[in-house]
Amino acid sequence: MDAIYDAVRHTAQYWVQMGLLPDSFKFAFVINSVICALIIGPVLGAIGTAVVAKRMAFFSNAIGNSALTGIAIGILLGEPVNNPYISLFSFSILFAIFLNFSKNKSGMSHDTLIGVFLAASLAIGASLMMFATRDINIHILDAYLFGSILTASNYDINLLLGIAVLSLSAGFIGFNRTIMSGLNPVLAQVRGVRVIVYDYIFVVLIALITVASVKIVGAILVEALLIIPAAAARNISRSLKSFVVWSVVFATVSALAGIIIPMEFKIPIPSGGAIIICATAIFISTLFIKILRRN
């Protein structure tokens, strides 16, 4: 894969010399970030439609914030500060499974239960982080909290690509059943859909996508890119197909714009924040379109 990435970089740099691309594309790290955007946009856009349809926005937020605890555990166990992925993946997946199990078995209100888990994960993560950062510069962790797509390496791209292929494959196979189980669980069970099984598969996919996207968008902001493009698409879509297509388009455009606009106009804001700002601008635009249609 490294050879393919090198070929893409050389091609982009040649197009810069030909005047077909902006000057910022002559830098390898900008091209790496664009590759990440082209991967993460379609994945978060597509999966985000199911998250919105199943009303799991708060759930995905809890999983995103649990990444802080996974990072702290990884550092304490001696994993590399730049790539504590073993603990990060392990903790986030276990957190998602246990949260979904508690939601199904406890009978408590979903928002109350998720709020408890969210607060607990943040408190534990912040406490562990105090111990984990005694011997390192705490600002190294800013990339995980707020995203640093411009520092993505080949390793990060490979990880993101692998999770993207896995997630889209699983989503393509079970998308209709997942949507049905979210919109009408009773009807789904009548039609032979194993609702509980698909719920667990879906929450694990959310955990995988969240962890893979943490270094790109940030633990605090990844849930926003998962939800906002899908919410914007829902404002203007008239069918399930257009809902998915528009969500993918909005997420991809937001990711690319969040990289290119600050670079070209020399705006000193984090790339993760810029991506979410672009997504929010798209959402507000579609919201006005929806209001105009109703009137």
pLDDT digits (tens, 9 = 90+) for 52-92: 877 777 777 788 778 888 888 888 888 877 777 788 888 88
d(CA 33, CA 18): 21
> Helices marked H in 137-270 — which ranges?
142-146, 154-183, 185-190, 195-217, 222-236, 240-265
Distances (CA, A) of 280 to 43, 212, 252, 260: 18, 22, 13, 16
Helix (H, G, I), strand (E, B) or coil at 82: coil
pLDDT band for position 197 (cuts 50, 70, 90):
confident
pLDDT digits (tens, 9 = 90+) for 100-115: 888 777 777 777 888 8
In this prediction, residue 284 carries a pLDDT of 95
Are 262 and 150 spatial neighbours (Cβ–Cβ below 8 Å)? no
In this prediction, residue 205 carries a pLDDT of 85
Whole-number mean pLDDT of the chain? 81
Domain that holds residue 27: 2-294
Q: The CATH number of the domain where 98 resides is what?
A: 1.10.3470.10
pLDDT digits (tens, 9 = 90+) for 241-293: 888 899 999 999 998 998 888 888 877 787 778 888 999 999 999 999 999 88
pTM of the model: 0.83
In this prediction, residue 182 carries a pLDDT of 63
Number of domains composing the chain: 1
pLDDT score of 209 more than 90 = no
Closest CA to 66 of 121, 143, 11, 8: 121
